[in-house]
Structure 1
Amino acid sequence: MRTETETEAPSRAACGAESDGSVSPAPRSQSPAPVDALSVDLGLRHGTLDNQPRPAFGADDAEHLAQATPLLLYEPPGQAGLGQVGDSGNHACTPNTAEPTSQQEQQWRERVAAAVCQVPSRINAFLRPYQREGVQAMARALFRTQRTGFVLADDMGLGKTVQVLALVAAILGKTGDPATDLQLAAAVPRGSILIICPTSVLYNWEQEAHQWAYFSLGLFQGARRAQLLPDILRGRYEVVLANLDSIKTEPALLEHNWLLVVVDECHALKNDKTERYRALARMTCRRRLGLSGTVFQNNFREFWAIFNWVLAGAWIPWPRFKREFQGPIVSAAAARRTAEQQRAAEAALLHLAQCTADVTLKRYKSLLSSQLPVKQEKVVFCKLTPFQMAGYQRFLRSDYVEALLQATHNPCRRCGASKRGSECCYQVGTKGCASVIHLMFPVISVLRQLSNHPALLLPRADDDEVVRAELSEKVFEPEDPWMQSMLRNQLTSAGDTSVCGKLAILMQLLARWEKEQLSVVIFSYTTRLLNIIQDALSLQGRTPLRIDGQVSARDRHAVVAKFQARDERILLVSTHAGGEGINLQAASKVVIVDPCWNPARDLQAQDRAYRLGTEHDVEVLRLVTAGTLEELVYARQVYKLQLARMVQTGRTTARAVFDVAMPGEGELFGLENMLAPPVDGSLLEHILE
């Protein structure tokens, strides 16, 4: 979630107008008044208007606002000349005047497109030039009668939220005048807009909405959902905030006649096979807006699925997309590509850029390179401890791993029969796996967990993962002293840095940063690893802040506020729960403890700290266990990022290795390399040599 620090919001920075309509930040002469969340709906319920004061403006703000003008987005045919903004460089969209084809389209025309649509001067005054361009691009898409979806794909931290709120204010006819806008909120003349976002940022959106405009706002969350639903369906709220899971379980909201549906972090809709995707695909609203700084996540199918939802199914069919785009582009990502493959990929990238030109907009942080501090990214290679090395080697010698390596070979390598190994001499399985080939992901998971911390493999009383429990027995000796110690005193043994190379490095770094009084955010993909890190800190008398799936949305907001105020300088964050949307500009150091298969998750995580509002340099450290499978996970990240860069820039780039998705094959990601014995040094270099 992007807060007001992503742009010069009236409560945080004074601005001076420049001749080209842009704004430049200037220091505030006084601290803003505290902002309390408005409860406009409560006032309206009693027939009154809640006119709670907004943050105070400084003298520079008042002067700047006096010179500001609205940002014209659309004017109905025949009203040319209305809402002109002089020489600011703003232009109205040219609408498609085709006859409406549905009742919903008729409603849009009657309620929205019948009037001048413009961003109030109170908001426009504090938008950066590129943010105005973003609002205009979204408006161009929405005021068409066909293909009215759009994806705002700006880098994390460029202020996608304020661009959307500016657009919403324009669509709802806001003027910037409190009395007028609150009366408009009471009447709700134009309709309702639904904003769907991750649970972790619901309250950020609520705060931002009240910061920038006067909306009647409904928060569809928690115990109040049943109470709010009737009022939402009657159109009492101009803006409704909800998370994905609450929406998919309420058919009435899916079928409601929204003016616009916005999905923040829309890459959550990357899998078109899920119940969540199918539920949102049934929405009757065809004006859809997606926000994501990482639209391309793992592969082209996910990229296609996001646009297919945004465009309400009016996107290129998947078989054609796969044939025309995925095939040529992926083929050109190989080191030994041919000239013909290179030309085919370049043509496909150009065609893809043309197909997405009017339905997406992507800007990069380089726009603000002169206004942002420096971000450094480093990979810290951590050695296995002797304990980890022994367990890693012991597991690779197990019959499970041997069976998995030989499963796909035909003829069978043991007896020579004309059968696949998994159908002949290598039929080892577990209680939780139907066949040997189904062992692949559990085996890889064991190696990754062992690389991060051996305690992740210890069985728990509530552990129902049968496969992992069986495989863990192949790692530890039954009477291993450390394992017995862990079972007796989990806290002390988990914090023992002698058994885990990563933990030893992390604790050394934290000790150094504590002396320098630096704030640190630590991201992990698994909460069990966060538990271990928290135990190790507890042994040193430290009580870090923490955000994971067990922390409610409102409590997360409070935790972030504490960290931003530097009440505690260490924050542990689950990548699942807090890797998206929240703002952590107080952090000088970001540590990604375990690299994720999906590189977009790590990118989202690190940019919680590096965004507009960051006032100091940021150092991002990825901890990778050298000589192990984790090196290949990181290499896989690099490969996926390369594909994403090709899609974004429209240019092909060479790489050193092939990628093959089928198990057991591939120069880098085949099973023989992924299950290779640990080496003293870099496993990746060893494989490539």
Structure 2
Amino acid sequence: MFVLPSGTYFPLISPELEQLRRIIDEARQLNDPRGRGLRISRYQVDLWEELAGLPTVQAQREAWWQNLAQLSDQAQLVHLDPPEALQAELRDYQRHGYSWLSFLYDHRLGGVLADDMGLGKTVQTLAMIQRARQQSPGPPFLIVAPTSVVSNWAAEAARFTPDLRVRTISATEARRGTGLSAAAQDADLVITSYALFRMEAEQYQQLSWAGLILDEAQMIKNHTSRGHRAARTLSAPFKLAVTGTPMENSLQELWALFSITCPGLLGGRDQFNRVYRTPIEKERDAARLTQLKRRLRPFLLRRRKEDVAAELPPKQEQVLELELDPGHRRIYDRRLQRERLKVLGLVDNMAANRFEIFRSLTLLRQLALDASLVEEESAPSAKLMALSSLLAEAVEEGHQVLVLSQFTRFLTKARKAASSAKIPSAYLDGSTTDRDAVISQFRSGEVPVFFVSLKAGGFGLNLVEADYVVLLDPWWNPAAEEQAIDRAHRIGQTRSVMVYRMVSKDTIESKVMALKESKQELFDRVLESTGAAESSQLSAADIRALLE
């Protein structure tokens, strides 16, 4: 009971005051303990909304807040007409994305565009930039992308927004011969790579930018990296992270992206870990997960292909379990025993021994593919034989096939096996210099099979000509695989896509497939559905399970 000087009293135990206590408590936990007073970030829309909804509190409902409230209920977001200069017909969900991006830009806010791969994140972003340029001139937008994707952004800009003046930065100042200011002069859009952005961070910091757009933003999910620091400190009124996989391993990666685009939304790293990460990943706290998703909702836009792209043909997946050749089995089992004893002796100190542990796991993964990748002794590879048979049948039936592997040495052997079977093909990995020419070979139909390393082909490619995808080796984190598969299963695909996952039976690959299913839950629960979540980093228990 609380008694006022006037003699009026009221109970302190009530639903309204309990809700107010909870809001204040959460805001306090997310505040830097070294700061003075209690503050709520302008990005914490949901906290403002709850505060304003309390009859015991008279929150200031200024114009900015009334506008911002649209973000909490995106169904109320005013849909804008695409800019007249845009050379593209936007689908309904793309128009919504364009309107959402424009709203953020107009109100000097940031966000994360996390649509599934293949849903047109690039064209939505370019539409927003085109609108901004038509409204008023100003400094250019800066797009930072993986090196392999820079040319794709330039090509898409020329295709969809030909009125924009685009400058591509593809070399350091020493090689290009001009300063960054001169290279970006009179531009509406400047496109560069993460590597160059990181190397010339100080020069980028000295220029004025209308906004910073980070494509494939998972590239800077490490908050200790120079790239992350450069993006966080760059002065720009609008920052956008574009990625189909905003979180691959842990909630800390999600925090890292939002610390760039929406500083203050999730508090500092220590506060975030204490309030959200530990309760959700370690304690499986469903209430905290629901709370986190509510906080992210205004500034995270994610649509799945099955929900918004009904016109896409179906994607079918089949796991091909292959028995090792007896000679291969003998070699594998012998090496497995050796590596198991070594790893089990190291796993109790994961932090100190992580490199050596993962070296052993990688060795066993390679050994499950082909004995000669690891041992001097060789044996027939069941995967190469199965692949040759599958490719021969697929090509004869008129299909175009994308073949993917994380290991370039095995990918090279797979291509040689195809050549021995008289099957023409193209090849792409990180060392390929004539990337565009190689891609054109496959897209034009000149060759029916395209061998691509996951690292080189995980993003930036549109390969809707392929209707068969073969994954030669599984790994526990499905994000890279899904990105690569979506090079074919994306907007523009008109045929059903068939995905084959080759798995060597009774090897580490079988255990990987089982582990991958459980690790997918973190991504799904935080970004898609409800419920608890668990850390997606490999634990000591996971390592032991792989070696059982």
- Structure 2 length normalisation: TM-score? 0.79
Aligned-pair distance for 1:436? 7.5
2: distance between equivalents of 1:210 and 1:396?
Answer: 53
Q: 1:402 aligns with which of 341, 344, 350?
A: 341
Q: 2:419 aligns with which of 510, 531, 538?
A: 538
Any idea what SS the aligned residue of 1:573 has? strand
Aligned-pair distance for 1:512? 1.0
Letter in 1 for 2:371: P
Q: 1:237 aligns with which of 178, 184, 187?
A: 187
Alignment of 1:376-415 (within 5 A): 376-398=316-338, 401-406=340-345
1: distance between equivalents of 2:537 and 2:430?
Answer: 34
2: distance between equivalents of 1:574 and 1:263?
Answer: 23
C-alpha contact 1:350 1:650 (8 A) present in aligned 2: no
Distance 1:234 1:593, change over 3 A: closer
2:302 equivalent to 1:362: yes
Aligned-pair distance for 1:659? 7.9
- The aligned counterpart of 2:547 is 675
2: distance between equivalents of 1:163 and 1:633?
Answer: 36
Any idea what SS the aligned residue of 1:157 has? coil
Aligned-pair distance for 1:576? 0.7
1: distance between equivalents of 2:355 and 2:307?
Answer: 47
2:174 equivalent to 1:217: no
1: distance between equivalents of 2:354 and 2:308?
Answer: 49
Aligned-pair distance for 1:168? 0.4
Q: Which runs of 4+ in 1 moved over 6 A?
A: 434-437
Alignment of 1:451-530 (within 5 A): 451-457=368-374, 480=377, 482=378, 499-530=380-411
- The aligned counterpart of 1:559 is 438
2:523 equivalent to 1:651: no
- The aligned counterpart of 2:360 is 443
**What does the per-residue CA deviation read over 1:75-118, in whole Å, with 9 as the maximum and x for residues that have no partner?**
xxxxxxxxxxxxxxxxxxx75799xxxxxxxxxxxxxxxxxx97
Aligned-pair distance for 1:660? 8.3
- The aligned counterpart of 1:199 is 147
Q: 1:640 aligns with which of 510, 513, 519?
A: 519
- The aligned counterpart of 1:550 is 431
Aligned pairs, number: 471
Aligned-pair distance for 1:154? 0.8
Letter in 2 for 1:215: L
- The aligned counterpart of 1:12 is none
Distance 1:437 1:195, change over 3 A: closer
2:467 equivalent to 1:588: yes
Distance 1:227 1:118, change over 3 A: farther
- The aligned counterpart of 1:63 is none
2:80 equivalent to 1:129: no
C-alpha contact 2:403 2:450 (8 A) present in aligned 1: yes
Any idea what SS the aligned residue of 1:121 has? coil
2:24 equivalent to 1:152: no
- The aligned counterpart of 1:141 is 104
Structure (1 or 2) with the greater helix fraction: 2
Q: 2:133 aligns with which of 172, 181, 188?
A: 172
The unaligned stretches of length 5 or more in structure 1 are 1-93, 99-116, 175-183, 333-340, 410-421, 423-433, 458-471, 483-497, 677-689
**What does the per-residue CA deviation read over 1:347-402, in whole Å, with 9 as the maximum and x for residues that have no partner?**
1222112211221111111234531111111222122222221112211343x642
2: distance between equivalents of 1:442 and 1:136?
Answer: 47
C-alpha contact 2:197 2:204 (8 A) present in aligned 1: yes
Aligned-pair distance for 1:674? 2.2
2: distance between equivalents of 1:578 and 1:523?
Answer: 8
C-alpha contact 2:426 2:447 (8 A) present in aligned 1: yes
**What does the per-residue CA deviation read over 1:382-435, in whole Å, with 9 as the maximum and x for residues that have no partner?**
22222221112211343x6424424578xxxxxxxxxxxx9xxxxxxxxxxx98
Alignment of 1:11-50 (within 5 A): none
**What does the per-residue CA deviation read over 1:467-508, in whole Å, with 9 as the maximum and x for residues that have no partner?**
xxxxx5xxx5xxx4x4xxxxxxxxxxxxxxx62122121111
2: distance between equivalents of 1:435 and 1:167?
Answer: 47
Q: 1:281 aligns with which of 221, 227, 232?
A: 232
2: distance between equivalents of 1:407 and 1:375?
Answer: 41
C-alpha contact 1:407 1:436 (8 A) present in aligned 2: yes
C-alpha contact 2:319 2:500 (8 A) present in aligned 1: yes
1: distance between equivalents of 2:288 and 2:171?
Answer: 46
C-alpha contact 1:594 1:624 (8 A) present in aligned 2: yes
2: distance between equivalents of 1:163 and 1:437?
Answer: 40
2:278 equivalent to 1:327: yes
C-alpha contact 1:403 1:436 (8 A) present in aligned 2: no
1: distance between equivalents of 2:100 and 2:133?
Answer: 18
2: distance between equivalents of 1:370 and 1:273?
Answer: 40
1: distance between equivalents of 2:262 and 2:531?
Answer: 27
Distance 1:407 1:331, change over 3 A: closer
Letter in 2 for 1:507: S
Letter in 2 for 1:139: S
Aligned-pair distance for 1:560? 2.3
Q: 1:296 aligns with which of 244, 247, 269?
A: 247
Distance 1:316 1:634, change over 3 A: farther
**What does the per-residue CA deviation read over 1:120-160, in whole Å, with 9 as the maximum and x for residues that have no partner?**
22438711121111111112222224xx2111111111111
2: distance between equivalents of 1:123 and 1:533?
Answer: 43
Letter in 2 for 1:136: S
Letter in 2 for 1:164: T
1: distance between equivalents of 2:520 and 2:159?
Answer: 36
Any idea what SS the aligned residue of 1:627 has? coil
Distance 1:356 1:232, change over 3 A: farther
1: distance between equivalents of 2:139 and 2:536?
Answer: 49
Distance 1:283 1:654, change over 3 A: closer
Aligned-pair distance for 1:516? 0.6
- The aligned counterpart of 1:351 is 291
> Looking at both structures, which has the greater relative contact order when contacts are Cα pairs under 8 Å and sequence separation is at least 6?
2
The unaligned stretches of length 5 or more in structure 2 are 1-62, 68-79
Alignment of 1:582-621 (within 5 A): 582-621=461-500
Aligned-pair distance for 1:670? 3.8
Any idea what SS the aligned residue of 1:172 has? helix
Letter in 2 for 1:237: A
1: distance between equivalents of 2:537 and 2:156?
Answer: 44
C-alpha contact 1:197 1:243 (8 A) present in aligned 2: yes
Any idea what SS the aligned residue of 2:298 has? coil
- Structure 1 length normalisation: TM-score? 0.63
C-alpha contact 1:196 1:263 (8 A) present in aligned 2: yes
Letter in 2 for 1:283: L
Aligned-pair distance for 1:596? 2.8
- The aligned counterpart of 1:246 is 196
RMSD: 3.0
Distance 1:371 1:549, change over 3 A: same
Distance 1:437 1:123, change over 3 A: closer
Letter in 2 for 1:386: P
Any idea what SS the aligned residue of 2:498 has? strand
2: distance between equivalents of 1:370 and 1:606?
Answer: 18
- The aligned counterpart of 2:267 is 316
